Amino acid sequence: GAVVSQHPSWVICKSGTSVKIECRSLDFQATTMFWYRQFPKQSLMLMATSNEGSKATYEQGVEKDKFLINHASLTLSTLTVTSAHPEDSSFYICSARRVIVGVNTEAFFGQGTRLTVV
């Protein structure tokens, strides 16, 4: 299957700093990327949907000014956690899909990023 690479796989940062997570589709062009957050012992919660070249669509309750999403090219989307706090510590995972209207395309997931804010 297609490969989605997420970097870094883990990061520790100090409270108040910002952290950028990259999501790359290595062998296909991803018109749409999804960012999820997974709390311990809970399911994946969709944070936002990003389309190449346009603003991301955030799910209800997700602070767009805190979680900045950029999808500047068909192979790269970034999630920046700004002014991180300990409660932002979580497992963040991206998913990429080449969306074709009327075609049931598969989503491929990155390996995830474990963020710990101290």
Partner 1 sequence: GDSVTQMEGPVTLSEEAFLTINCTYTATGYPSLFWYVQYPGEGLQLLLKATKADDKGSNKGFEATYRKETTSFHLEKGSVQVSDSAVYFCALKDSGGYQKVTFGTGTKLQVIP
Q: Interface with partner 1 includes 29 (CB under 8 A)?
A: no
DSSP string, 19-64: EEEEEEESSS--SEEEEEEE-TTS-EEEEEEEETTSPPEEPTT--T
Give SS3 for 90: strand
Q: Interface with partner 1 includes 110 (CB under 8 A)?
A: yes
Minimum separation from the CB atom of position 14 to partner 1 (A): 24
User: Do residues 108 and 97 lie in contact, with contact meaning Cβ atoms separated by under 8 Å?
Assistant: yes
Minimum separation from the CB atom of position 67 to partner 1 (A): 18
Q: Which stretch binds partner 1 (CB under 8 A): 21-29, 71-79, 82-90, 94-102?
A: 94-102
Which position among 23, 93, 115, 117 is part of the footprint of partner 1 (CB under 8 A)? 93
Q: Interface with partner 1 includes 6 (CB under 8 A)?
A: yes
Compute how many other C-beta atoms are within 10 angstroms of the C-beta atom of residue 111: 11
Would the CA dihedral through 26, 28, 29, 30 be positive or negative? negative
| Contact footprint for partner 1 (CB under 8 A) | 1, 6, 32, 34, 42-44, 46, 49, 93, 95, 97, 99, 101, 104-112
